[in-house]
């Protein structure tokens, strides 16, 4: 998953719903990018911190972990430095690997954040989430015919 982020040193990658943090760990180790994990489950964040420490000071120093409910992040959180925490710059890449239902539920907020962010960022999600939202034969969101006007790029090499 980290290889498909397109991240490099100098990027700030956020993972909304980071779980045990494995994608952030790999991105920090491979690409030297700053990684921010947002998770609602405190024990998962304990695992994130422990594994980052086990991977060494380089990875540990590139990662930060924050206990937050992504459904209650305020407007402007994704495009503003330090909106989530004092040590948390805004993302250049936002990773969100959640269910298709969850992606649809967050779609309006994500699109608003993406359109109004003072600093631009890319949104990366998994094919499984998009496949439950998008009918690629018609190019439309299955339920609401793309009410938010998302432009979707599907990488032909990795799809």
For residues 69 and 158, give the distance between their C-alpha atoms in angstroms, rounded to a whole number. 30
18 and 41 Cβ atoms separated by less than 8 Å? no
Provide the Cα torsion 64, 158, 92, 70; round to 10°.
Answer: -60
Residue 22 pLDDT > 80: yes
pLDDT (0 to 100) of residue 27: 93
> Where does 68-146 show beta strands of DSSP type E?
93-96, 122-125, 134-135, 140-141
pLDDT (0 to 100) of residue 80: 84
68 and 85 Cβ atoms separated by less than 8 Å? no
pTM above 0.85, yes or no: no
- Report pLDDT digits (tens) over 136-157: 444 444 445 555 565 655 555 5
Higher local confidence (pLDDT), 146 or 94: 94
Higher local confidence (pLDDT), 74 or 37: 37
Mean pLDDT of 49-68: 97
For 125-142, the DSSP string reads E-HHHHHHHEETTTTEET
28 and 59 Cβ atoms separated by less than 8 Å? yes
- Report pLDDT digits (tens) over 34-50: 999 999 999 999 999 99
For residues 37 and 96, give the distance between their C-alpha atoms in angstroms, rounded to a whole number. 10
27 and 35 Cβ atoms separated by less than 8 Å? yes
Least confident of 32-36, 71-75, 91-95: 71-75
Q: What share of the chain in percent tops pLDDT 70?
A: 75
pLDDT (0 to 100) of residue 151: 61
């Amino acid at each position: 998953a980290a290889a498909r982020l397109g991240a490099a040193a100098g990027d700030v990658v956020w993972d909304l719903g980071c779980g045990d943090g494995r994608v952030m760990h790999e991105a920090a180790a491979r690409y030297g990018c700053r990684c921010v994990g947002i998770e609602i489950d405190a024990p998962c964040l304990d695992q994130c911190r422990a594994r980052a420490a086990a991977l060494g000071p380089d990875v540990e120093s590139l990662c930060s972990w924050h206990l937050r409910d992504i459904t209650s992040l305020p407007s402007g959180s994704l495009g503003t430095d330090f909106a989530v925490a004092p040590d948390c710059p805004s993302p250049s890449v936002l990773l969100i690997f959640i269910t298709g239902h969850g992606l649809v539920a967050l779609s309006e907020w994500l699109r608003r954040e993406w359109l109004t962010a003072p600093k631009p960022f890319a949104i990366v999600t998994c094919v499984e989430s998009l496949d439950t939202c998008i009918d690629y034969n018609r190019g439309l969101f299955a339920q609401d015919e793309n009410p938010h006007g998302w432009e979707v790029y599907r990488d032909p090499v990795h799809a």
